[in-house]
Amino acid sequence: MKTEINEHKIFKVSRRDFIKATSLSMSGLLLGLNVRCSDTSKKLTGNPDAVFSPNLFISINGSGEVTLVAHRSEMGTGIRTSLPLIMADELEADWSKVKIVQAVADEKYGDQNTDGSYSVRMFYTPLRKAGATVRTMLEQAAANEWGVNVAECNAKNHEVVHTSGKALGFGYLAEKAAALPLPDEKSVVLKSPKDFRYISKQSSIVDLKDIVTGKAKFGLDNSLPNTKIAVIKRNPEPGAGLKSFTADEAQKIPGVLKVFTLDAPGFPTNFNKPLGGVVVVAENTWAALKGREALQVTWATGINADYDSLTYGNDMLKRAQAKGKVRRENGLVDKALASAAKIIEVDYVVPHLAHTAMETPCALVHVHDGICEVWAPVQDQQGTRKSVAAALGLEVSAVTINITLLGGAFGRKSKPDFVVEAALISKTMGTPIKILWTREDDIQHDFYHFPAAQHLKVGLDKNNKVSAWLHRSVFPTIGGTANADANEPDSAELSMGMIDFPYTIENIRCETQVAKVKTRIGWLRSVANIHHAFAVGCTLDEIANARGIDAAQNLLELLGNDRHIDFKSLTAEFWNYGVPMEEFPWDTARFRNVIETVRDKSNWGKALPKGSGQGIAAHRSFLTYVACVVEVTVDEKNKIRIPKVDYVIDCGTAVNPERIKAQFEGGAAFAASLALKSEITMSNGGVEQSNFHNYQVARMSDAPYETAVHIIENNERPTGVGEPPVPPFIPALCNAIFAATGKRIRQLPVKLV
């Protein structure tokens, strides 16, 4: 996760730099933008860089075409549209005359690692300033041309208009503006939100037509002359090596060119190292797959050959019953529990999960003449560049990473192991290599979402007031994938729904237990918020039930008076998604507002037939406040259907409401997969599932029929929307199932029989 530092420096760039960075040849006005960011949580990102010095570029050519560089990865959020849209708005550009170019991986752009739901949050103001600076220069150029005061000149829809009515086009002014000095930053005035042309308006994504016509280029869709196809047979136990193999039969398959091995990394594997194994390179995909099928391999066993997720889960659950390491403590929980009139004591369990983006990991790589060229669908662009350079023994400057569209990612493609594989294979073969991961490879060699066991114990006093909240969370930390000593959740993971518990209960204690990492663990859309929101959201519903009051009313009562919660005084471990509390406070008024609004919008408490029910939950993640009401029906065969979901969200300024709605519709379906369908189990160190028949995800009939997304309108700073839909949906769904059936759901995926 990253912190935005308030140092946005805009500068003119040389044409040479622009061409180098974008492979574009341009004339006219070029401006760079320097955005400084600091990495405050190396563990979560795995990115070792503390300070970046990025550039973004705007250019206008003589024919008036505006080129905007998109520097972050498009995986379905619409970011390749939304970020340029911000610049275009301040620039007063005509969107139909804007061309978007995807940047290569380069530190000049600053942070490009597209994760953590912060692209808009981090770049909103800098991009507005960049657009406004160019607009100011165009206005000055027009004023000079006319010999009038610049105050009489206003940029409007791709031209600068004088108060007299005369106008000059951006294309005409480009060359003249380029000759001007940069304006004083203070003279650059941002537009008033009421004048926004594109921000907060409907906008289709720029790749829409290419997608529906099949022309959009994803990771496997590029080719170079003489490209060969590679697949790898990997040890089911991550990190463990190879004992022996026979390739005689594989070599007989027509088209198979070479069979060789890649070293295993040992365990922990780290985030960017290939798993090693036996590589089959062939003339075409089918020959490679048939060749791999014909291999005979005997694997070595490693330190996790005993890993059995069922045993491991039972062990976590057992440890969750005993006092652990205290991560937040306010008041005297034990005393309050001892004197409680009523106790709620519950356990919540979630399994390992796999990402299964529809596009499996893949890449096209060509290592030649001391350089390496990559075309790949990666989230962590610069991390990929460095990992490839290190694996090949090249300088980083010798590696070019071209970012294709990502066919989904959800966190998987922030790990560049598959690109490094292709690079090592290309180096051996001397030809361009396209690497394919089959669905089996993807499901069996993922960086899995952590399994978790949680124990909650809540006390109600004799006045029916909640007097004590004890929450114990046990799960293997993501950090353990890189560091053998990391065996207990870190502060950031706990600040995703556990120690950031906002309710006004006098006595609160949060604890963790040791859980050693036994496989590759990685972040999945919304990360630890998934299991924490599940347990907290469902327990709050159990509290409402025990108190005999309405669930929405219970949330509002427990939330207390409107205030900014000073979490730092409640626990030293609190982490605010890497940004200062002064800029992004924990504002209970905004949280209350989304809860009250969802109650109204969803017609909460409406009469429903038998077998139907509504459930509510609210959660703040990635700085965005979300409340959710899910309606379910459960038929006599226990088939669960979701006719309606209502989300109310406060994500500050909604830059692209159409895509925000899409993220919430899709986020609900994604969460429905996690709640109802998906489970990875492991035995003997390896994964037991292999494809979509036994690792199931939501299909049309499992997903919500209708998702209504209500966006709170305000001019607060924009916050994340990619991940926040997921956490509150799951408890809202489970609470709805309780309302419909009387059955409490405390383990995922939901099994009603």
State the minimum distance, in angstroms, from the CB of residue 427 to another protein.
23
Nearest to 685 by CA among 299, 417, 413: 299
- Measured CA to CA, the distance from residue 458 to residue 263 in angstroms comes to 50
Nearer to another protein by Cβ, of 215 and 564: the residue is 215
Report the DSSP beta bridge partners of residue 342.
Answer: 460
**In this chain, which stretch among 23-31, 220-228, 414-422, 681-689 interacts with another protein, using CB under 8 A?**
220-228
State the minimum distance, in angstroms, from the CB of residue 107 to another protein.
26
Report the DSSP beta bridge partners of residue 10.
Answer: 33
CA distances from residue 668 to 499, 642, 702, 727, 741 in whole angstroms, order as listed: 25, 10, 11, 9, 21
> By CB under 8 A, is residue 216 in contact with another protein?
yes
> By CB under 8 A, is residue 212 in contact with another protein?
yes
The correct pick among 131, 238, 411, 704 for binding another protein (CB under 8 A) is 704
Helix axes 79-91, 119-146, angle to 10 degrees: 30
- Measured CA to CA, the distance from residue 522 to residue 409 in angstroms comes to 12
> By CB under 8 A, is residue 692 in contact with another protein?
yes
Nearer to another protein by Cβ, of 543 and 662: the residue is 662
Instruction: Report helix, strand or coil for 509.
Output: strand
> By CB under 8 A, is residue 218 in contact with another protein?
yes
The correct pick among 41, 67, 360, 571 for binding another protein (CB under 8 A) is 360
**In this chain, which stretch among 20-28, 142-150, 191-199, 685-693 interacts with another protein, using CB under 8 A?**
685-693
- Measured CA to CA, the distance from residue 687 to residue 691 in angstroms comes to 11
Of 419-438, which residues contact another protein (CB under 8 A)? Answer: 436, 438
Helices (H) and strands (E) in the chain, counts: 20, 28
* H-assigned helices in 23-153: 42-45, 79-91, 119-146
Nearer to another protein by Cβ, of 84 and 408: the residue is 408
| DSSP string covering 323-371 | --EEEEEES-HHHHHHT-SEEEEEEEEE-BB----SSPSEEEEEEETTE
- Measured CA to CA, the distance from residue 229 to residue 291 in angstroms comes to 11
Strand 640-650 versus strand 706-711 pairing type: parallel
Nearer to another protein by Cβ, of 221 and 446: the residue is 221
Nearer to another protein by Cβ, of 240 and 294: the residue is 294
**In this chain, which stretch among 165-173, 200-208, 378-386, 735-743 interacts with another protein, using CB under 8 A?**
200-208
**In this chain, which stretch among 5-13, 163-171, 516-524, 659-667 interacts with another protein, using CB under 8 A?**
659-667
State the minimum distance, in angstroms, from the CB of residue 80 to another protein.
11
The correct pick among 166, 215, 252, 568 for binding another protein (CB under 8 A) is 215
* H-assigned helices in 501-566: 529-547, 551-559
Nearest to 500 by CA among 405, 437, 565: 565
> By CB under 8 A, is residue 204 in contact with another protein?
yes
State the minimum distance, in angstroms, from the CB of residue 725 to another protein.
9
- Measured CA to CA, the distance from residue 435 to residue 228 in angstroms comes to 9
The correct pick among 33, 697, 733, 736 for binding another protein (CB under 8 A) is 697
Nearer to another protein by Cβ, of 290 and 592: the residue is 290
The correct pick among 142, 205, 530, 594 for binding another protein (CB under 8 A) is 205
Tokens in use for 612?
């139907």
State the minimum distance, in angstroms, from the CB of residue 726 to another protein.
10
> By CB under 8 A, is residue 707 in contact with another protein?
yes
Interface mask (CB under 8 A) for another protein, residues 255-294, using x and -?
x----------------------------xxxx--x----
The correct pick among 322, 706, 713, 743 for binding another protein (CB under 8 A) is 706
> By CB under 8 A, is residue 407 in contact with another protein?
yes
Nearer to another protein by Cβ, of 186 and 693: the residue is 693
- Measured CA to CA, the distance from residue 88 to residue 110 in angstroms comes to 20
CA distances from residue 723 to 340, 479, 530, 624, 665 in whole angstroms, order as listed: 37, 20, 10, 9, 12
Nearer to another protein by Cβ, of 120 and 173: the residue is 120
Judged on CB neighbours under 10 Å (0-12, 13-18, 19+), 581 is middle
- Measured CA to CA, the distance from residue 32 to residue 26 in angstroms comes to 14
Number of residues that bind another protein (CB under 8 A): 68
State the minimum distance, in angstroms, from the CB of residue 687 to another protein.
16
The correct pick among 557, 658, 688, 716 for binding another protein (CB under 8 A) is 658
Of 108-127, which residues contact another protein (CB under 8 A)? Answer: none
Nearest to 292 by CA among 320, 256, 330: 256
Nearer to another protein by Cβ, of 194 and 637: the residue is 637
Cβ neighbors of 683 (< 8 A, separation 6 or more) are 307, 308, 309, 310
The correct pick among 160, 231, 405, 649 for binding another protein (CB under 8 A) is 405
> By CB under 8 A, is residue 356 in contact with another protein?
yes
Nearer to another protein by Cβ, of 105 and 205: the residue is 205
State the minimum distance, in angstroms, from the CB of residue 254 to another protein.
5
Can you say how many angstroms the Cα of residue 200 is from the centroid of all Cα atoms in its chain?
22
CB 129 within 8 A of CB 10: yes
Of 29-58, which residues contact another protein (CB under 8 A)? Answer: none
The correct pick among 32, 46, 76, 480 for binding another protein (CB under 8 A) is 76
State the minimum distance, in angstroms, from the CB of residue 701 to another protein.
5
Cβ neighbors of 408 (< 8 A, separation 6 or more) are 75, 76, 355, 357, 358, 359
> By CB under 8 A, is residue 252 in contact with another protein?
no
Please compute Rg for the chain using Cα positions. 27
The correct pick among 141, 365, 372, 668 for binding another protein (CB under 8 A) is 668
- Measured CA to CA, the distance from residue 445 to residue 449 in angstroms comes to 12
The correct pick among 54, 78, 451, 480 for binding another protein (CB under 8 A) is 78
- Measured CA to CA, the distance from residue 217 to residue 250 in angstroms comes to 31
- Measured CA to CA, the distance from residue 608 to residue 5 in angstroms comes to 50
Q: Which amino acid is at 91?
A: L
- Measured CA to CA, the distance from residue 139 to residue 147 in angstroms comes to 12
Nearer to another protein by Cβ, of 260 and 692: the residue is 692
- Measured CA to CA, the distance from residue 493 to residue 477 in angstroms comes to 8
Nearer to another protein by Cβ, of 79 and 499: the residue is 79
- Measured CA to CA, the distance from residue 85 to residue 127 in angstroms comes to 9
State the minimum distance, in angstroms, from the CB of residue 411 to another protein.
12
State the minimum distance, in angstroms, from the CB of residue 75 to another protein.
6
State the minimum distance, in angstroms, from the CB of residue 291 to another protein.
11
> By CB under 8 A, is residue 211 in contact with another protein?
yes
Phi first, then psi, for residue 470 (nearest 5°) are -115, 125
State the minimum distance, in angstroms, from the CB of residue 267 to another protein.
29
Q: Which amino acid is at 159?
A: E
* H-assigned helices in 602-725: 657-676
> By CB under 8 A, is residue 700 in contact with another protein?
yes
**In this chain, which stretch among 24-32, 212-220, 380-388, 541-549 interacts with another protein, using CB under 8 A?**
212-220
> By CB under 8 A, is residue 74 in contact with another protein?
yes
- Measured CA to CA, the distance from residue 178 to residue 666 in angstroms comes to 43
> By CB under 8 A, is residue 691 in contact with another protein?
yes
**In this chain, which stretch among 32-40, 180-188, 213-221, 599-607 interacts with another protein, using CB under 8 A?**
213-221
Q: Which residues bind another protein (CB under 8 A)?
A: 74-78, 204-205, 207-209, 211-218, 220-221, 223, 229, 254-255, 284-287, 290, 356-360, 405-410, 436, 438-440, 658, 662-663, 665-670, 672-673, 691-693, 697-701, 703-707
